[in-house]
Amino acid sequence: MSTRMTWVVKGKDMQHITAASPCYELPCLPPPDDFIVHVDEQGQTYRWRDARWVIGDMSFNFGYEPTPGQTLELTAINGELLKRCLAWFVWGARRPITVSTIHCYHALLKRLFATCSALTVPVRASEIGRFFDTIELDLAEGTLPSNRDVLVGLLHELWQARDWLGFEVLAPAQIARLRELVVDHGAQQKLFIPPRIWAYQAHRMQTFLQDFIAKKAQFEALFLEIADAYRFNYGSLSAASRVASPARTPCHQGKRVAGCIYLGPFADLAHRHGVAEVIGRWMLDHNQSMDSLRASNASPLLLGKYFSAVARVGIAYLQCLSGMRIKEALSLRSTCLSVEHDSVLGDICILSGETTKTAQDPDARWMAAPTASLAVEAMSAVAKWRMSIAVEVGAALLKEEDRVNPRLVQRAYEPWMPSAHKERGISKVRPPRTAELMDAAPGLFEKEALRITAEDELYLRRFSHEADLKKYGEGCIWHFQSHQYRRSIQVYMAASGVSLPSRQQQLKHLTSSQSAYYAHGHENLRLNRRFSHELVSVRYELVAVDAGLLNGPEYVSPHGQARKDALLRFFKVSSRDEIEKAQKQGQLTVRQTVVGICTARRCEYGGFDNYAHCTHCVDGLMDKRKRPVMGKEGRTIAARLVDVPAGTPLRAALERRLEAVEEFMHVTAA
């Protein structure tokens, strides 16, 4: 190792590790056998030579470890090589990591190394690549489908760290092959949301949140007035939560109790505060009129349901923009949103929360669109109001952080909500199901807008070959599930037209946003590790994804439909596996250009920005979605030509580029 490697493990159990600790700096790889890999707060030490390490509250076994239903046994050399891999996560030049995440990585790699150790003729982990063709099926069989994407991400990271490690586990082509052999876990559930439906639902959720924010002050006033009336009628909100007495409720229309405050029908109260129209728009079915709010004999219960709908819609919208899991979104708190400023990309919105499932990280980051602020603002307001009730009724287990920085999704503690009378303690919020959005807010989506068209089905077939067309085919109503957002974001990232191919390839990033952001000195940005692994995994299927896009109407050939069909014939008649294999072997090329894509293996005209000849190229396709960019390019060139002397090489080059722009606009006009 040529650079200084120091401790990167973080967490509450690691606070005692400082620069003075004997395990803080790794002297070399491998280090001496007596090198202390960890010292706990009680002074117990664990050395490199030990077959078992304990870091924090996690145990790492590098030899024999029985587990339910199986045994994982490593040869001595594979146990040693596993230690080196683990050293990369503990001391490598990488972002900080928690002990639980390291433990997860140890388990995944140990399973792989155990497969090599259990072969008739054991194979060293450092020689897996050498014997890969003969043992690939064994490796695939030993990999749990549910761990596939994380393992692919780990192997990719270890390949990048091969010089540091002193050996290579698998090369990218072999990683891709392993990914191909392991059946995708729950593949039938990972559906891609067609663009029309995705845009519709995102717009409706955004409008829902904007409506709430526009009336936020009025909603707060309504909430406080009802709470004050409950407090007065029952003596306290705590008493109101314990005792259900309909006659004392402020909007009660029957026999009244002397000395109590009555606010009148809830519908009239909502009208007085100016929020009845908003509640009616989203909480009533589309075929109901605004008068239905009065006729429905609505009570403050409807206000509580609306607040819960704000939380449900907000969570779904954040997932839609970020690719979070539902439990990761539920970890977000009111201060989760931050904005960093970049001279190239502008404002970059970042959500901070906790990762869940395989890897745990209490301070992970996700990038999201600027409109994520709508969801955070709306959900923060409801969370603040509900937490104020929780504090007053004395909810158990209420921590200081919950008071000052509550989670965005809170249980309904209002005394007019049924849940308030069930229990007074803080309880875990049941993860809201995206499929329940239409029930939570009946006015959110129009059923016919979600009916799948022939074009929607075409997109689904391109990116979700395993989709059940009896449920998601033409004529069916689209049913949302939260993981669909993750799958869709992955595809949209892969299909993004803002990529910077050279930088992207150099940095091994999936999108240009990551590449440009890191390239401008923001290496401290840490994306959610699980999501990053899945992005790396998706990178190995991008050729097939691109192929699906090319078949669409967005791409046209300057030489007509027949030429496009000829270029894409291989994509149409080949399976996904055949396409990926051809790409790996260098027999197939699909790369972006300024005007679209190019399928030529070699281009005599060179660079990415030299598009003057692209509009005549028989190997290229032009992307209609680039018309706004190319239109701006044409105007810029025209303005430059005003000051460039005639007969100069520069003018000739600019004129040729302007002709190319005009040809592009003509071909893509239809």
Distances (CA, A) of 593 to 16, 281, 600, 617: 52, 46, 11, 12
End-to-end CA distance of the chain: 58
Residue 510: its pLDDT value, please?
A: 35
Q: What is the 3-state secondary structure (H, E, C) of 301-337?
A: HHHHHHHHHHHHHHHHHHHHHHCCCHHHHHCCECCCE
- Span 601-612, pLDDT tens digits: 677 665 445 678
DSSP state of 183: P
User: Would you list the DSSP string of 269-288?
Assistant: HHHHTT-HHHHHHHHS-TTS
- The residue ranges of the chain whose pLDDT is under 50 are 2, 67-70, 185-189, 356-360, 421-428, 497-527, 535, 538-545, 607-608
State the pLDDT at residue 32: 93
So what's the pLDDT on residue 363?
62
User: Residue with structure tokens 């008068």?
Assistant: 291
**276 within 8 A of 219, measured Cβ to Cβ:** no
Confidence (pLDDT) at 86? 93
Report pLDDT digits (tens) over 504-535. 332 223 333 333 333 333 333 344 555 555 54
Residue 361 Cα to chain centre, angstroms: 15
